[in-house]
């Protein structure tokens, strides 16, 4: 059996740049896989089903919840978003790290279920910049942007629930910081001792 991979939970307010930073991180061919989320939100122009999200109806999503097939899910600004469980478990069992990009309520659910996950919060340098990014992205109406900003303030208040906070001032720098955190997490003493239990177990032997 390969050693189980790490579950990396990357979260932060809408518009902070999670998707942009994630794309930069994945350019470097790291040993982790991205878990594609499921949502009931309408598909945006250019988004591909199965790549950006699995786009589903509310009925289909609620059926997955009923069957216990979601690791976590949340209702966010009127739509469901969630992480299908099967892919995550299968990939972790293969020994690969899994990267989730999710909002804060979902991240807190994962923390309850997988306390040894790595919880990274991406924060904007300030709130005006965050609004500027949401407006500049051009994907949401003024009303949706106001709702997302309201949510963002609640989410930033919950930053203290995370293990790490990374400021997204510059995409390249933020991506480098996240990669370093993940690398260091692999060398945390509890993880290394678990990996090398075959050696630790022999310490009392006369070798």
Ligand X SMILES: Nc1nc2c(ncn2[C@@H]2O[C@H](COP(=O)(O)O)[C@@H](O)[C@H]2O)c(=O)[nH]1
Ligand Y SMILES: Nc1ncnc2c1ncn2[C@@H]1O[C@H](COP(=O)(O)OP(=O)(O)OP(=O)(O)O)[C@@H](O)[C@H]1O
Question: In 103-126, which positions are buried (b, 16+ CB within 10 angstroms) versus exposed (e)?
Answer: bbbbbbbbbeebeebbbbbbbbee
CA distance readout (Å), 175 to 21, 24, 54, 169, 170: 5, 6, 25, 11, 9
The reply to whether 99 sits near ligand X by the rule CB under 6 A is no
The reply to whether 45 sits near ligand Y by the rule CB under 6 A is no
Tokens of 15: 């518009």
The reply to whether 103 sits near ligand X by the rule CB under 6 A is yes
When the beta carbons of 6 and 9 are compared against ligand X, the nearer one is 9
**Binders of ligand X in range 153-182 (CB under 6 A):** none
Annotated ligand binding at 17? The verdict is yes
Identify the residue whose tokens are 């902070």: 16
**DSSP letters of 78-116?**
TEEEEEEHHHHHHHHHTT-EEEEEE-HHHHHHHHHH-TT
The reply to whether 56 sits near ligand X by the rule CB under 6 A is no
With contact defined as beta carbons under 8 Å apart, do 9 and 100 qualify? yes
The reply to whether 136 sits near ligand Y by the rule CB under 6 A is yes
The reply to whether 151 sits near ligand Y by the rule CB under 6 A is no
Region for 184 from its dihedrals, namely left if φ exceeds 0, alpha if ψ lies in -120 to 50, beta otherwise: alpha
In Å, the largest CA–CA distance within the chain is 71
Residues touching ligand Y: how many (CB under 6 A)?
A: 13
The reply to whether 84 sits near ligand Y by the rule CB under 6 A is no
CB of 105 to ligand X, least distance (A): 6
Q: What string marks each residue from 71 to 90 as x (binds ligand X by CB under 6 A) or -?
A: -x-x-x----xxx-------
Annotated ligand binding at 13? The verdict is yes
Contact partner at residue 91 from ligand Y, ligand X, none, CB < 5 to 8 Å by partner kind = none
List binding-site positions for ATP. 12-19
Give contact residues for ligand X (rule: CB under 6 A). 14, 18, 37, 41, 72, 74, 76, 81-83, 101-103, 105-106
């Amino acid at each position: 059996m390969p050693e189980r991979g790490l579950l990396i939970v990357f979260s932060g307010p809408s518009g902070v740049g999670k998707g942009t930073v994630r794309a930069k991180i994945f350019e470097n061919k790291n040993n982790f896989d991205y878990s594609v989320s499921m949502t009931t939100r309408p598909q945006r122009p250019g988004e591909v089903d199965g790549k950006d999200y699995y786009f589903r109806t509310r009925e289909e999503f609620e059926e997955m919840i009923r069957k216990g097939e979601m690791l976590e899910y949340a209702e966010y600004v009127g739509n469901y978003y969630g992480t299908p469980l099967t892919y995550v478990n299968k990939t972790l069992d293969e020994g690969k790290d899994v990267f989730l990009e999710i909002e804060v309520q979902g991240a807190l659910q994962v923390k309850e279920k997988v306390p040894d996950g790595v919880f990274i919060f991406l924060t904007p340098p300030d709130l005006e910049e965050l609004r500027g990014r949401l407006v500049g992205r051009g994907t949401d109406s003024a009303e949706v942007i106001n709702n997302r900003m309201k949510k963002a303030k609640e989410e930033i208040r919950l930053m203290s629930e995370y293990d790490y906070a990374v400021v997204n001032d510059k995409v390249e720098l933020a991506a480098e910081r996240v990669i370093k955190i993940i690398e260091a997490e692999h060398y945390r003493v509890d993880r290394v001792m678990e990996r090398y239990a075959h050696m630790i177990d022999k310490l009392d032997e006369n070798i």
